[in-house]
Amino acid sequence: MPARIISISLVCWLAAAWVPAQTLQQLQQRLNMGKAAPAAPVPAGRGADVQLVERPWEQITDQQLFEHGKTALGQNPSKWHHAETEHFVIHFHKRIDAQKVARQAEFYYDQVKKDLLAEKDRFDRKSHIFLFEKDAEWHQFVADAKFMEWSAGVSYRSELYFLSRQGSGDFAAGTLAHEMTHCIFYRFVPRRIPMWLNEGFAEFESGAAYAKFKGIGGGNRGSGRRGEADFPLQKLLAATEYPKDQSDVHEFYRTSERLVRFLITKLDRSRFVPLVMKLADGASLESAVLEIHADKFKSFDEFVKRYEKS
């Protein structure tokens, strides 16, 4: 796919003056094991109440992984730290990174749930997020999983794999929000869906989710990518792989987002998920629209004309 915050306990802080680094690290791990980490205050409504509980792999409540998750975990789970929230299991090296991602993940989950008008998701397990820290480790994983070698973040079904270099600040915030939306959307629609729908929904949600999380935006939806949203519609609907030309890639994403935004905000939002399920069953957009929105459109041409005017 084209691609922190934790306070140290007072005991560990005072001990740092005289305890060797390795011993101090062990002490911190014992103090944090099985408990929610204390976190610096964040504004209410932006993941402030997310509890990230660290445990050994053997004690993680949901150990079910897809094939790429098994590859990421490897034969030695102890090389990772593991912690979980209500809906996610996070595998990490720096807890400060895990805490930040945990807040965003649960915040985005709530946003997707709200926008889909859903009472609960359709998934019976937690989503796993792997936060790689070293380039070499990441590139080896990407090669083993056969992902695009230039990827900085990849989602697969309900799992997310991400390169979070130490000191990278906002973790390539746009990429993280986009890929995280993919794995969350799968929890509500755990089916294979058309490429334009998968990418379009991720663009629609992530266009404003990070800004809303940080409290710096008005919540208007829209892709932040460059380029025009005028990728040919029929070509978009038929696409099973990404365009080769980079300018076409931008247009593909922007047009996908435009179409999803039209389906959600210009038509009946409550019918979006039923329409998605029709598409997941193999129906064309034409047949799905004419069935789900039979009271609005007598032909697909009517739908297209209204979409093009939006």
Q: Is residue 6 part of a domain?
A: yes
Q: Is residue 125 part of a domain?
A: yes
Residue 51 belongs to domain spanning: 1-191
Residue 48: its pLDDT value, please?
A: 59
Q: Is residue 109 part of a domain?
A: yes
Residue 90: its pLDDT value, please?
A: 98
**88 and 152 share one domain:** yes
Q: Are 56 and 84 in contact (CB under 8 A)?
A: no
> Does the pLDDT at position 278 exceed 70?
yes
Of the two residues 145 and 22, the one the predictor is more confident about is 145
Lowest mean pLDDT among 28-42, 62-76, 96-110, 232-246: 28-42
* Mean pLDDT on 298-306: 97
Q: Is residue 272 part of a domain?
A: yes
Q: In this predicted model, what pLDDT tens digit does every residue of 199-242 receive, in sequence order?
A: 999 999 887 677 778 776 555 555 555 556 889 999 999 999 99
Q: Are 80 and 93 in contact (CB under 8 A)?
A: yes
Beta strands in the chain (DSSP E): 53-55, 81-84, 88-92, 127-132, 153-156, 159-163
